[in-house]
Amino acid sequence: MMKKHENNNTTTNESRHLESFKLPDNWVYTSIKSLVKEMRSKKPNDLNLEYFKYIDIDAVDNKAHSIRLYKNLETADAPSRASREIRKDDVIFSLVRPYLENIAYVVDDFDDIIASTGFYVLRSNGSCIPRYIYYYLLSDSFINNTMSYMKGDNSPSIRKSEFESLLVALPPIQEQQRIVNRIESLFEKIDKAQELIEEAREGFEKRKEAILAKAFRGELTAKWREENGVKLDSWNHVQLDEVCLKITDGTHQTPQYSEQGFKFLSAKNIKNGRIDWDNIKFIPQELHEKLYGRLAPTRGDVLLSKNGSTGKAAIVDVDEVFDIYVSLALLRPSEKIVPEYLLLVVNSPMCYAQFCKHLTGIGVPNLHLRDIRKTMIQLPSTEEQKAIVSILKALLNEEEYIADLTNQGSNMELLKKSVLAKAFRGELGTNDPTEESAINLLNEILANKSKK
């Protein structure tokens, strides 16, 4: 018979698997092996079918934690690892690279499905609700435990026997169902919040495009023109090279980088309309002097990504000495155009549409300097340009504040992990301390198993 650990309500004296917290009194720690039935083998030839459905590790979506596809294979070409029986309501856990969380709940009930032996198949013996064990396997504490037993360099894995020895915090069966219900209710709300965030994010991009489009059609400064006696026909339609002193790109040679030295920027450093100075590379002084002699970026220049993520621009708004790679074009404004206006117009849908028409290359899109130079823009007077910049800054700052709030969406998965952590510490407020301890049900099931 099992007995509880003195402090941790466990059915074993091996406490190395345990967390530091104490479970509710009617919960118990027990091994995976004590909760599930023995795995069963099933060979493709046993099906007497020409084709069968095969689930390998790649078949699992490790974000949605579900089986995303089956491979329909000829029985004659079945891989040797295709020999694990699975059924509806089983939970499959990849023993290979467990940190990738290739875990899924089986929802289909087909007779012709066989899984890879890379999976451990958990089929409840009646002591636990299948979806309870499914969610438990997704918890950070369990994943971290599996990682401590990984072996191997190329495909680190956990052995079947070691996986079976890992401990699960087991509440009474009624509490398991309440926990599952609570988790799924909270996850549904989190998913809904994520959808709303995505909608808000998409709405932000659309509103931003609409605002920029209005700005360069003259709609945002209609009142300004009226107050200053200026007409819309004062605007000119010009090429970028007519308003820039220089449009060129960085070095075409891949540099030898150094641990320290002079800052070296590429298209990867243009993010969200700004220059990312935190993730930069460095080049030695000798190379810098050569590159800087040809092109010396300065405050007020606009940097435009022309390779890879094309059509994204940022302004140099600091006094920094740096060099640029070929993936960046440098646009130096003349006295005809305000630098901030140049940045905004280059980042507008009007310019982006023209850039897209001229992209070349397969795999990595490329925008040629000649096409950048010929890009057409609307050019009002410098005074109206300043008015447009002022209006756009106010409008876009407000929109960007909203966008920053939507970036909280990246924390939603962390929020789910937090829900799971609380659930398996008995902190969701669902436990009934008067219910019979889970250890009694386990003892009964294991006793019956030993008689067979």
82-85 and 113-116 beta bridge pairing? antiparallel
Closest CA to 50 of 70, 72, 74, 71: 74
As a whole number of angstroms, the distance between CA 97 and CA 156 comes to 5
Domains contained in the chain, number: 2
Q: 263 in a domain, yes or no?
A: yes
DSSP per-residue letters across 179-200: HHHHHHHHHHHHHHHHHHHHHH
Q: 18 in a domain, yes or no?
A: no
Indicate which CATH number applies to the domain containing 84.
3.90.220.20
DSSP per-residue letters across 43-93: -GGGGT-SEEEEE-GGGEETTTTEE---EEEEGGG--TTEEEE--TT-EEE
Q: Where are the alpha helices (DSSP H) in 327-436?
A: 339-346, 349-357, 369-373, 382-406, 412-423
Q: Per-residue pLDDT averaged across 165-188, rounded?
A: 94
pLDDT band at 16 (very low <50, low <70, confident <90, very high): very low
Whether the Cβ atoms of residue 381 and residue 230 lie closer than 8 Å to each other = yes
- Measure Cα distances from 219 to 295, 352, 388 in Å: 37, 20, 10
Tens of pLDDT, residues 205-260 = 778 788 888 999 999 999 999 999 999 999 999 999 999 999 999 999 989 999 99
In a shared domain, residues 366 and 440: no
As a whole number of angstroms, the distance between CA 356 and CA 352 comes to 6
As a whole number of angstroms, the distance between CA 233 and CA 188 comes to 55
In a shared domain, residues 226 and 325: yes
In a shared domain, residues 378 and 298: yes
In a shared domain, residues 139 and 226: no
274-275 and 270-271 beta bridge pairing? antiparallel
Whether the Cβ atoms of residue 47 and residue 39 lie closer than 8 Å to each other = no
CA 289 to chain centre: 40
Q: What is the pLDDT of residue 399?
A: 61
Closest CA to 166 of 102, 122, 106, 118: 122
Q: 191 in a domain, yes or no?
A: no
Residue 258 bridge partners (DSSP): 282
Query: Is residue 254 classed exposed, middle or buried when 0-12, 13-18 and 19+ CB atoms within 10 A define those classes?
Result: exposed
Residue 396 bridge partners (DSSP): none
Q: 185 in a domain, yes or no?
A: no
Q: Check pLDDT > 90 for residue 96.
A: yes
In a shared domain, residues 291 and 157: no
DSSP-derived 3-state class of residue 407: helix
- Report the run of H or E that residue 263 belongs to, with start and end: strand 262-265
As a whole number of angstroms, the distance between CA 310 and CA 355 comes to 8
Residues near 352 by beta carbon (within 8 Å), at least 6 away in sequence:
311
Q: 12 in a domain, yes or no?
A: no
In a shared domain, residues 268 and 399: yes
DSSP-derived 3-state class of residue 383: helix
- What amino acid occupies position 432? D
In a shared domain, residues 397 and 296: yes
Which of 63-67, 81-85, 363-367 shows the lowest mean pLDDT across its residues?
Answer: 363-367
In a shared domain, residues 280 and 309: yes
Q: Check pLDDT > 70 for residue 378.
A: yes
Tens of pLDDT, residues 317-354 = 999 999 999 999 999 999 999 999 999 999 998 999 99
Number of H helices, E strands in the chain: 13, 22
As a whole number of angstroms, the distance between CA 115 and CA 59 comes to 10
Owner of token pair 């005809």: 336
Q: Per-residue pLDDT averaged across 67-76, rounded?
A: 91
In a shared domain, residues 51 and 165: yes
Whether the Cβ atoms of residue 143 and residue 98 lie closer than 8 Å to each other = yes
Tens of pLDDT, residues 274-330 = 999 998 999 999 999 999 999 999 999 999 999 888 889 999 999 999 999 999 999
Q: What is the pLDDT of residue 445?
A: 73
In a shared domain, residues 316 and 387: yes
Owning domain of residue 342: 201-408
As a whole number of angstroms, the distance between CA 143 and CA 99 comes to 6
The share of the chain scoring above pLDDT 90, in percent, equals: 67
- Measure Cα distances from 52 to 49, 88, 190, 314 in Å: 7, 16, 37, 54
In a shared domain, residues 402 and 311: yes
Position with higher pLDDT, 109 vs 105: 105
CA atoms within 13 A of residue 287's CA, in its CB half-sphere: 21
In a shared domain, residues 261 and 353: yes
Whether the Cβ atoms of residue 256 and residue 334 lie closer than 8 Å to each other = no
